[in-house]
Amino acid sequence: MALLIGLAAFCSTLVGGVVAFRLRDRLHLILGFSAGAVIAVAFFDLIPEALELGGQSHELKTVVAFVALGFLLYLLLDRLLLLHSGSHEDGDEHTHARGALRAGSLSVHSFLDGIGIGLAFQVSPTVGFIVAAAVLTHDFSDGINTVNVVVRHGGKRSQALRWLVVDALAPVVGITATLFFTVSQSILGLLLAMFAGFFLYIGASDLIPESHHVHPTFWTTFMTLVGALVLYVAITIAG
């Protein structure tokens, strides 16, 4: 059953990516929606799950510290990449690398989603379905976000498609991995907290500023709020 849900997550991510490809002329609106969705996933899904799982073995301030660690670590990686590759005017290598970094982080998060589903089904089918419902609600946005971050940083359609497939396969790989090993809830909670920090950085420092670039801020801001609201409602219903 868990592997069937992994297949559903695969399809949901691909559909989100196809939507991003077809609506490239309105990319700024999709970026606005994606920014709200990414931030909402961090606040309403990853952080609560991290506090629930990690809080059983760690103090709450430790879990929150891992959120900050994820944010600052992503900031450090981003700035080091900037220093290594030079300015935007030096060529496309820098922008392509940043897009790959962001798409890679989304894929690793999807892998952890798969681990979460697999471990939840090891607890009980009921818990597994609840966790799976929460994951499926934002896999669609994951597909949009993966395509957006690659295209936004100058990547070609073929590159975005490859990263989309990687992101779509990641939860299936994560679910399969749990058949061979387990991760303690306390460690998984800290990992989720760290990736919440990654998502907060991606949404606040990349997607939101880019969605407002040379476009009217009213509609992009509106779409950001819509993205956050849609994910909040979906996660609330699923939870």
Q: How many CB atoms lie within 10 A of CB 23?
A: 12
Using CA of residue 114, residue 50, residue 20, residue 159, what is the dihedral sign?
Answer: negative
What is the average per-residue pLDDT within 222-233? 88
What is the average per-residue pLDDT within 84-94? 50
Among 74-78, 102-106, 151-155, which stretch is predicted with the lowest mean pLDDT?
A: 151-155
Q: Is this structure's pTM higher than 0.75?
A: no
Buried b (16+ CB within 10 A) or exposed e, 161-199: bebbbbbbbbbbebbebbeeeebebbebbbbbbbbbbbb
Residue among 115, 207, 96, 202 at smallest CA distance from 158:
96
Residues 20-33: tens digit of each pLDDT: 777 766 767 777 88
88 pLDDT band (50/70/90 cuts)?
A: very low
Average pLDDT, the chain: 80
What is the average per-residue pLDDT within 36-47? 87
Residue among 200, 201, 195 at smallest CA distance from 170:
195
- Supply the pLDDT for residue 206: 67
Residue among 148, 111, 136, 123 at smallest CA distance from 41:
136
The yes-or-no verdict on residue 10 having pLDDT over 80 is yes
Instruction: Say how far apart CA 146 and CA 56 lie, in whole Å.
Output: 32
The yes-or-no verdict on residue 187 having pLDDT over 80 is yes
The yes-or-no verdict on residue 101 having pLDDT over 50 is yes
The yes-or-no verdict on residue 56 having pLDDT over 60 is yes
Q: Pick the residue with more confidence: 185 or 173?
A: 173
